[in-house]
Amino acid sequence: MSEHTPNPVLVRAMTGFFWAMAASALAFWVGGVVWPGGLRGLIAALGPGLVAGFGALHIPAAIAGILLWQWQRHGMPARRRVLLEAATAYFGLAVVLSIFLNFLLVTSLDSVVSPAMPPSGG
């Protein structure tokens, strides 16, 4: 059985999206270092909605990175492949960490809110 060959237009679109996200993530973290007020000041300047949207786009960026690695790693120069792998690892770890921190937040809030709330029902 032959390996799946993706549509070249899809690969170009995913490549553009992935590298735009990688450049944006790098700019965000560098901006957090040089921006007055650090990351808090940068997030306040960008707005929490934009930052949340950017954070949500880490999920498709991680998926695109995995697919691009699967489809293109054999034909890529070593340096570009390492950049792809590092950026994919960053996006994947950011997603896993955010899910874990969300879980911790929800469970800790549940333990705080549940005792204060009367049981509902008949």
Q: What is the pLDDT of residues 61-114, one digit of tens each?
A: 999 999 999 999 888 999 999 999 999 999 999 999 999 999 998 888 877 776
Q: Residue 36 to residues 31, 77, 91, 109: CA-CA distances in angstroms?
A: 9, 38, 26, 32
77-83-84-88 Cα dihedral, nearest 10 degrees: 160
Best mean pLDDT range from 1-5, 14-18, 72-76 = 14-18
Rg (CA), the chain: 20
Q: Which residue, among 52, 64, 76, 78, has the nearest Cα to 19 in the 3D structure? A: 64
Q: Which residues contact 78 (CB under 8 A, 6 or more apart)?
A: none
Largest CA distance in the chain: 67
pTM equals 0.81
Q: Which residue, among 78, 74, 67, has the nearest Cα to 15 in the 3D structure? A: 67
**∠ CA 102-62-28, rounded to 5°:** 75
